[in-house]
Amino acid sequence: MTDDADTQPIRPWVLIRETQRGTFSLFQMSESLMRSPVSATEHSFLRLDPPEWINVVAVTDEGSTILVEQYRHGVNKVCLEIPGGVVDPAEDPAVAARRELEEETGYISDSLHLIGVVTPNPAFQSNRCFTFLALGCRPEGTVHLDPAEELAVRLVPLSHLTQLIDNQTIQHSLVVAAHDHLQRGIRRGEPWAATLAPWL
Amino acid sequence: MTDDADTQPIRPWVLIRETQRGTFSLFQMSESLMRSPVSATEHSFLRLDPPEWINVVAVTDEGSTILVEQYRHGVNKVCLEIPGGVVDPAEDPAVAARRELEEETGYISDSLHLIGVVTPNPAFQSNRCFTFLALGCRPEGTVHLDPAEELAVRLVPLSHLTQLIDNQTIQHSLVVAAHDHLQRGIRRGEPWAATLAPWL
């Protein structure tokens, strides 16, 4: 990596005072007065603290990937996505992934692989999103939806996932990131990639 | 796409009443009471309305990509990212991309290509993020940082970008999505892909 000759090393800002701005359904919100380590000027930053999130690229033994279609209030549209949700307090992200997959789709898997971790928005969100690949999924579980969830399960050939992103049927940044994790893992030759090879 | 036999088509929920919850530095927040078109039950949904966002995969004629290192309050860490920012009111996203690239890095480009659009979080955010590829970037512009921005510009060979995501040096979901746009565009054989070929 080449540094510009005139740049200083970047250091974290220093917390002066944090004020809670409320507890909402999806996150807590706070505002922090911070001091720059360079200029010593003060600036107020907003932060949302949601729980950790997970999402799942779930694949059946027939090479279908399991998608969910649901109404999304943020964009006021019905969206096509991979299954996902919130990690409960003290829950392991892999357990959350298995649980959310079953609750949203009725599919279960005994073969989960962590394929990537991102920070959904490091500028103002503190949480992470863990992406799992679930292999050998079979419809032997029990759907259990939250009161505000209305979902339709859609099976698509795994080989069509890229095309659904290319044509913007899928637009969710965390699903696009999950697709990237999958493709980079395949390029690295991860052990699980061999299982997917027949369907790519 | 195969539909599960027992699923209904998914329809948007219907707005009953929207309440503003405040104007913050990064977004407006509202809460909407919505009615399910299936069950007719009511549920309250939170929504953040940030401006549209852009980010830029910026490449020099030497095949370096231009990254920025900055403190990110959400995760309380110094993060490596691609340049990006907010689209001003009535501004064209391509103009915003060119502007943010110059303001954050001092590099300018006459060759911008929209390579992807995502919804950063359709569950509770209404905005989109537009990703541009900027070719032939040269350090002939003027850096102009916001008061709370302290940035270091880092040049890395374009061929190392994948590795920086693989090893989690880069964790920002919108940068991972940008990487996916780039890779999918290369696989589709977009016209700009030929320019990148020598450095991949």
Q: What is the pLDDT of residues B63-102, one digit of tens each?
A: 999 999 999 999 999 999 999 999 999 999 999 999 999 9
| Greatest Cα-to-Cα distance within chain A, rounded to the nearest angstrom | 60
pLDDT-derived band at A9 (thresholds 50, 70, 90) equals confident
The neighbouring-strand residues paired with A44 are A33
Report the gap between the CA of B61 and the closest CA in chain A (Å): 15
**Is the Cβ pair A126, B75 closer than 8 Å?**
yes
Q: Which DSSP category does A150 fall into?
A: -
pTM score, whole prediction: 0.96
Lowest mean pLDDT segment, chosen from A141-155, B123-137, B164-178: A141-155
| Per-residue tokens: B82 | 């691609």
**Inter-axis angle of helices A173-188 and B173-188, to 10 degrees?**
60
ipTM given for this complex: 0.96
**Is the Cβ pair B173, A73 closer than 8 Å?**
no
Q: Which residues of A touch B67 (CB under 8 A)?
A: 1
Q: Across residues B24-52, what is the average pLDDT?
A: 95
> Measured between alpha carbons, how far is residue A117 from residues A13, A54, A93 in Å?
24, 9, 11
The runs of H, that is alpha helices, within B60-160 are 93-105
Give residue-wise pLDDT tens across range A125-165.
999 999 999 999 999 999 999 888 899 999 999 999 999 99
In chain B, pLDDT over 70 holds for what percent of residues? 96
Q: Which of A75, A173, A184, A187 to probe the B interface (max B CBs under 10 A)?
A: A173
Q: How many residues does chain A have?
A: 200
pLDDT score recorded for residue A3:
54
**Is the Cβ pair B71, A150 closer than 8 Å?**
no
The phi and psi torsions of B190 (rounded to 5 degrees) equal -55, 150
| Per-residue tokens: A160 | 């069509």
Is residue B34 within 8 Å of residue B44, measured between CB atoms? yes
Closest C-alpha to B179, from A181, A108, A35, A4: A181
In chain A, pLDDT over 70 holds for what percent of residues? 96
Q: Which residues of A touch B44 (CB under 8 A)?
A: 25
The neighbouring-strand residues paired with A129 are A53, A118
Report the gap between the CA of A24 and the closest CA in chain B (Å): 8
Report the gap between the CA of A149 and the closest CA in chain B (Å): 9
Among the partner residues B11, B46, B71, nearest to A12 by beta-carbon distance: B71
pLDDT score recorded for residue A146:
86
Among the partner residues B7, B46, B151, nearest to A26 by beta-carbon distance: B46
End-to-end CA distance of chain B: 34
Q: Which residues of B touch A172 (CB under 8 A)?
A: 118-119, 121-122
Q: Across residues A86-98, what is the average pLDDT?
A: 98
> Measured between alpha carbons, how far is residue A30 from residues A39, A40, A120, A125 in Å?
24, 22, 18, 10
pLDDT-derived band at A5 (thresholds 50, 70, 90) equals very low
